[in-house]
């Protein structure tokens, strides 16, 4: 592992962990929840009943505790002088701190197994022990589905570690609904009182982000995890982001981007005529190229869901989709839409964009150019640099609506403490230290002064304000096993993330930030955002299966209409499409969402 920012997908350095609640649960999630059935009875104590407990091993405090009612017992350390915070900075500050652990106990923590990562000898692990005085013995499990059986075995075996640090959902970490279910069963400890007494860094997060705590509070009123903060501006519109190949645009004789869907169609036609062999609009089967065309007709919502007043709408059933499908079918018939865009893989799309004779793709959807081309910073004329953000264009109603995923509580599960842990107080303080600015930067980049330092005059951050910090140029490659991936606790508030000094010659961050600014003009109304609620055990399993079935039915129906196999303009074909989605569970899906949403409210 190098001293670069924590590894993510190359197309989206910052997208992970940006949601405030569960995305619709994946079907595989049922395997985790199923582990509850095998959990030992001693672990499954009531976690929400009346009365109180002494907090001993195997027991869990009740959740009738009123959040904020305990006084803070730990103070933040004094600020370090000379830190160049940009004007208006909101986020953690660099502070002095003293170790609080006495080293007499070695805590057991299960975390992720990663390539070139050994937590026992890792540089940041050593930094944490030195700064906090807390000794930790780490065990590891693989990421994703590969690690799920091992996590299940840990949860069902009864001999739990003192804490679990399994990262965000994209790593296979716990969803908030899973935290709720395990908390209800008494397996995980509610942390509210401990947080209020012992977590001044997290208290500062709550103060700076008023909706953050509520987003991490389960329907029973408890927080069952110590959260990380992971705010990402450009991610709010990343699902809709679309790019145009600038040389192909210019070859079509255009100097400006289209402002309306009619002008967009003319641009596609111009590319087809001017550039032999080009696919004017293409994509791949896991990201159908519909985002901006849909945005020109309706608010498609985040994860295909939006609010209309008190109603939750599953947007593939919106009548506005008929015009979207009809438009795509007409363009496909005229050769403006690549029919392979609905069946080919992402690798095949990359080969089209990277063709040695020039890009064979004119317009393509993706989080960044790294979604569909090879990012080669060392080449000033690299192909990825030829793609620029395509500004949303208006539709028949004269508007465009980009679903804006700005849910409260953006972050991920940082640390989970089982009810059996004998000293949760020390672990809460250990987690809270990791929310500090110095810890967060050291976790992501490496040791201060070796891997990063404070920014100087003239250094510019991602958001074009003065930078807060910058990487140190190092000879050769950075050492392995120096940083952590984002599987622990950290505080990447917006101003921390944007505070990194960047050079456009070797970073895509400024470009995707500007793309986000371009798309924000068309952001959907805040009241239309539907944030996934917490689900209980039966709801989580049902929603996971419904979502899997719906996704399959939607793709099949959408592809058929976009390619003209069925006709969206035909009432009979549209009714059949709607019936197929309802048969896949659309109506029941909305019922379960409404039930869980009402419980949250």
Compute the distance between CA of residue 356 and CA of residue 522 in angstroms, rounded to an integer. Answer: 36
- Write the DSSP assignment of 259-282 as a string of letters: SBHHHHHHHHHHHHHHSTT-EEEE
**Closest Cα to residue 29, out of 588, 535, 550?**
535
- Write the DSSP assignment of 227-247 as a string of letters: EEEE--TGGGGTTT-EEEEHH
* Beta-carbon count within 10 A of 525 CB: 11
Beta 311-314 vs 305-308: how paired, if at all? Answer: antiparallel
pLDDT less than 70: residues of the chain: 1-62, 601
* Beta-carbon count within 10 A of 530 CB: 22
- In the chain, residues under CATH classification 3.40.190.10 are 91-235+408-498, 239-404+529-600
SS3 499: coil
Which pLDDT belongs to residue 239?
97
The strand order across the sheet containing 279-282 reads 279-282, 361-365, 242-245, 387-389
Compute the distance between CA of residue 123 and CA of residue 483 in angstroms, rounded to an integer. Answer: 7
The CATH number of the structural domain formed by 239-404+529-600 is 3.40.190.10
Which pLDDT belongs to residue 32?
54
SS3 312: strand
Q: Which CATH class is domain 91-235+408-498?
A: alpha beta
Which pLDDT belongs to residue 158?
84
SS3 95: strand
Write b or e for each residue in 301-331: b if 16 or more Cβ atoms lie within 10 A of its Cβ, otherwise e: bbbbbbbeeeebbbbbbbebbbbbbbbbbeb
Compute the distance between CA of residue 539 and CA of residue 301 in angstroms, rounded to an integer. Answer: 22
Question: How many CA atoms, within 13 angstroms, populate the side-chain half-sphere of residue 3?
Answer: 24
- Element containing residue 307 per DSSP (H, E): strand 305-308
pLDDT digits (tens, 9 = 90+) for 101-121: 999 999 999 999 999 999 999
Compute the distance between CA of residue 521 and CA of residue 22 in angstroms, rounded to an integer. Answer: 27
């Amino acid at each position: 592992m190098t001293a670069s920012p924590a590894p993510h997908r190359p197309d989206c350095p910052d997208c992970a962990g940006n949601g405030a609640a569960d995305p619709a649960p994946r079907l595989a999630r049922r395997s985790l929840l199923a582990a509850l059935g095998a959990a030992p009875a001693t672990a499954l104590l009531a976690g929400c009943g009346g009365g109180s407990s002494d907090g001993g091993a195997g027991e869990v405090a009740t959740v009738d505790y009123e959040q904020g009612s305990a006084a803070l017992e730990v103070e933040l350390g004094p600020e370090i002088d000379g830190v160049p915070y940009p004007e208006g900075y909101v986020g953690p500050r660099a502070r002095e701190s003293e170790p609080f652990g006495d080293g007499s106990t070695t805590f057991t923590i299960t975390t992720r197994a990663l390539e070139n990562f050994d937590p026992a000898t890792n540089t940041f692990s050593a930094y944490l022990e030195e700064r906090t005085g807390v000794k930790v013995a780490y065990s590891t499990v693989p990421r994703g589905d590969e690690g799920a059986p091992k996590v299940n075995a840990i949860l069902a075996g009864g001999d739990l570690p003192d804490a679990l640090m399994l990262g965000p959902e994209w790593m296979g970490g716990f969803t908030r609904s899973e935290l709720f279910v395990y908390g209800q069963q008494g397996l995980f400890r509610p942390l509210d009182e401990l947080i209020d007494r012992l977590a001044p860094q997290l208290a500062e997060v709550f103060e700076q982000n008023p909706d953050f705590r509520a987003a991490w509070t389960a329907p029973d009123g408890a927080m069952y995890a110590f959260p990380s903060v992971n705010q990402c501006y450009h991610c709010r519109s990343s699902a809709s982001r679309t790019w145009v190949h600038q040389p192909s645009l210019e070859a079509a004789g255009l100097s400006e981007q289209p402002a309306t869907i009619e002008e967009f169609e003319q641009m596609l036609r111009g590319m087809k005529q001017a550039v032999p062999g080009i696919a004017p609009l293409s994509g791949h089967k896991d990201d159908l190229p519909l985002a901006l065309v849909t945005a020109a007709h309706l608010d498609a919502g985040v994860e295909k869901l939006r609010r209309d007043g008190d109603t939750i709408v599953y947007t593939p059933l919106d009548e506005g989709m008929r015009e979207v499908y009809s438009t795509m079918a007409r363009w496909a018939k005229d050769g403006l839409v690549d029919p392979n865009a609905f069946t080919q893989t992402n690798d095949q799309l990359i080969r089209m964009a990277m063709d040695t004779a020039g890009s064979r793709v004119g317009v393509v959807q993706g989080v960044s150019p790294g979604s569909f081309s090879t990012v080669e910073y060392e080449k000033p004329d690299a192909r990825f640099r030829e793609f620029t953000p395509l500004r949303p264009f208006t539709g028949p109603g004269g508007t465009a609506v980009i679903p804006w995923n700005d849910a409260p509580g953006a972050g991920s599960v940082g640390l989970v403490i089982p009810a059996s842990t004998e000293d949760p107080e020390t672990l809460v303080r250990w987690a809270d230290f990791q929310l500090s600015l110095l810890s967060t930067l050291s976790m992501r980049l490496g040791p201060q002064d070796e891997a990063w330092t404070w920014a100087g005059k003239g250094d510019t951050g991602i958001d074009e304000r003065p930078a807060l910090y910058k990487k140190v140029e190092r000879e050769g490659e950075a050492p392995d096993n120096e940083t952590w991936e984002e599987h622990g606790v950290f505080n990447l508030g917006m101003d921390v993330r944007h505070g990194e000094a960047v050079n456009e010659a070797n970073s895509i961050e400024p470009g995707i930030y500007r793309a986000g600014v371009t798309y924000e003009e068309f952001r959907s109304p805040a009241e239309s955002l539907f944030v996934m609620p917490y689900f209980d055990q039966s709801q989580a399993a049902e929603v996971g299966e419904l979502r899997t079935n719906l996704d399959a039915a939607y793709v099949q129906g959408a592809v058929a209409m976009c390619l003209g196999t069925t006709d969206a303009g035909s009432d009979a074909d549209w009714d059949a499409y709607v019936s197929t989605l309802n048969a896949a569970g659309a109506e029941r899906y909305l019922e379960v969402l409404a039930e869980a949403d009402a419980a949250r409210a």
